[in-house]
Structure 1
Amino acid sequence: MSRLRAHLFVAGFLIAPVALYLVFVISPYIQAFQIALTDWRGVAASPNYVGFENFLTMFGDEVFWAALRHHGVLLVALPVLTIGISLLFAFLLNLGGGQRGGTMTGVWGSKFYRVVFFFPQVLAVAVVGVLFQAVYRPDDSGVINGVLIRLGVEPVGWLTEPSIAFWAIIAVMVWQAVGFYVVLFSAGMAAIPRDVFEAAALDGAGRFRLFFSITLPLLWDTLQVGWVYLGIAAFDGFALVQVLSVDRGGPDNSTTVLPLEIWKTAFSYSDFGYASAMGVALFFLTITFAALTLRVSKRERIEL
């Protein structure tokens, strides 16, 4: 009887959050699947069902494939660059100073650097976009081009040249994300007993050996989580692309991403059926990526 009461007590607390989750998360997903099979324009009360016509149109849409290619680039570039830079900084801030007083420490001023690295996380994405609009301006009023012009170098159209515009936006994504993952990896390193690093240092292991032979293997679970988070983020990019890109995904669709195309299709062209079909495709792409990443990167946990 006491166990039944305990279960009822827990269920009482779960009813409200589960109900809210079903209404505001699961229900919109189900409605998106339904709308994807219609030609709904956002007005008619009873839309016409067109079956898989929206999906067939999507597979023949060049803009859809351009956005998909950009997500492929993001899936590689964003995790690799962000995790690589974050790991380096986290290692320097926690263990880069070597042994001092018999204890492994970070580089000088590491506490100050932690604040500096985390600063982009407190800024809204729109604010970051506006800041980098000033950084990337194509004339001498831009931060980068102003320096280049003073050095006698021709200004660069960071956001107007199709060949480099998307990479300029990726650089902003990495800049914004690094601070969070520095904190995440620092927390993971803090959970590793210092005795392990100190024993390795006493045996003559340098920073290179400490990083690749001890830190990375013991930090694998945290790296796995970071890679999944960044992969999911690679299927987004809506806010920064909308704020920074020329003509919302330009020039010539060289920076477009699926969330932006979904937004444009739904709210600029009022084609909610086609927008929902792209949303369904994005949903399955994200779920598939997360499942495959967790499966491929799974390995035995090292116990200390």
Structure 2
Amino acid sequence: MQHGKYRFIVGFLAAPLALYAIFVIWPFIQSIYYSFTDWTGLSPDFEMVGFDNYSKMLEDQIFWDSLWHSLIFALLLPLVTLGLALFFAFMLNVGGRRRKGAAIAGVRGSGFYKIAYFFPQVLSIAIVAVLFAFAYNPNEGAINGLLRAVGLDSVQPQWLGDPDTALWAVMAVLVWSTVGFFVVLFSAGMASIPKDFYEAALLDGASRFTTFFRITVPLLWDTVQSGWVYMGILALGAESFAVVQIMTVGPGGPDYSTTVLVLYVYQTAFRDGQAGYATTIGVALLVITLALAALVMRVGRRERLEF
């Protein structure tokens, strides 16, 4: 009986594991292999160059600038996005005023707010980037137009044209486009927390601020931790690439002020024809992503709370 059970399990998992190995593991192995070559990405001919690509990467200032921008995204984007999402979800579920028949309730119109916050998730990130590129236009954009409307004519930043503001303008778009997903996710988690916990805390004289940090965050910590890892991967991957590629001058400018690692991999491979060097940067990006995920899981590990 036991032998038949294990045979069934192995047979059930064989096809998925084979597909995973072919389409995920094997490309990783190929990338590591090509990182030791001078492959152009077009010609079938290439030579092994050893660690030359890695030595070149360590001396490449654009690589270090891109790495710094990616780390800013990976550290600040989850912090801002998850912080806002937790606050909004708390207000929508338990942060409202006490009403007749319900000591614990969300703000009025919470159902509408959840839809409004989630709406950016319906839009493609490419559409969001195009819309905000128009909004950031210094002459005809909605943001500077609003500043002029309220009498701030002297405050007219070159949002995407100034190296000091371009990176933060791009990050704001990523926050706007992703915060709604986590508002809905955290709202679902908060809805499962018994209201008795909040009522007992309020009867003991706890403030909303205290209940947020003493009840809500500890009971949602596993969800927050998973969200941090997801946001870190998102910030290092396709989302940041799409926004920077579409919105910024160059793209990646001005003066490489918004270039991120994934964009630099794309430019090196398809613009410069240095696929071998691009895979080297890609391997570095893989190591950084895995290290970030492991760090978050390690630092954020705590005793599991159940209710």
Q: Same fold (TM over 0.5)?
A: yes
Candidates 248, 254, 262, aligned match of 2:257: 254
Q: How far off is 1:10 after superposition?
A: 3.2
Residue 238 (1) aligns with residue 241 (2): yes
Cross-structure match for 2:229:
228
TM-score (norm 1): 0.95
Cross-structure match for 1:299:
302
Count how many residue pairs are aligned between Structure 1 and Structure 2: 302
The superposition leaves residues 25-65 of structure 1 with CA deviations (integer Å, 9 ceiling, x where unpaired) of 11111000000000001233242000110010011111000
Pairing 1:84-99 to 2, within 5 Å after superposition: 84-99=83-98
Please give the alpha-carbon distance, in whole angstroms, between the structure 2 residues aligned to 1:290 and 1:77: 15
Give % identity: 51
Cross-structure match for 1:269:
272
Q: How far off is 1:120 after superposition?
A: 0.7
The aligned amino acid for 2:163 is: P
Q: How far off is 1:255 after superposition?
A: 0.3
Most deviating of 157-166 and 79-88: 79-88
Cross-structure match for 2:26:
27
Please give the alpha-carbon distance, in whole angstroms, between the structure 1 residues aligned to 2:185 and 2:55: 42
Cross-structure match for 2:138:
138
Cross-structure match for 1:218:
219
The superposition leaves residues 154-210 of structure 1 with CA deviations (integer Å, 9 ceiling, x where unpaired) of 422100000000000000011111011111211221222221112112223221121
The aligned amino acid for 1:76 is: L
Cross-structure match for 1:122:
122
| Structure 1: gaps (5+ residues) | none
Decide whether the 8 Å contact of 1:99 with 1:198 is kept in 2.
Answer: no
Decide whether the 8 Å contact of 1:94 with 1:107 is kept in 2.
Answer: yes
Q: Cα 1:200–1:152, aligned 2, differ >3 Å: closer, same or farther?
A: closer
Q: How far off is 1:15 after superposition?
A: 2.3
The aligned amino acid for 1:8 is: R
Q: How far off is 1:254 after superposition?
A: 0.2
TM-score (norm 2): 0.94
Decide whether the 8 Å contact of 1:87 with 1:185 is kept in 2.
Answer: yes
Please give the alpha-carbon distance, in whole angstroms, between the structure 1 residues aligned to 2:78 and 2:152: 35
User: 4+ residue runs of structure 1 moved beyond 6 angstroms?
Assistant: none
Please give the alpha-carbon distance, in whole angstroms, between the structure 2 residues aligned to 1:120 and 1:56: 42
The aligned amino acid for 2:13 is: L
3-state SS of 1:10 partner: helix
Q: How far off is 1:99 after superposition?
A: 4.0
Pairing 1:49-60 to 2, within 5 Å after superposition: 49-60=48-59
Pairing 1:162-177 to 2, within 5 Å after superposition: 162-177=163-178
Please tell me the root mean square deviation across aligned C-alpha atoms, in Å: 1.4
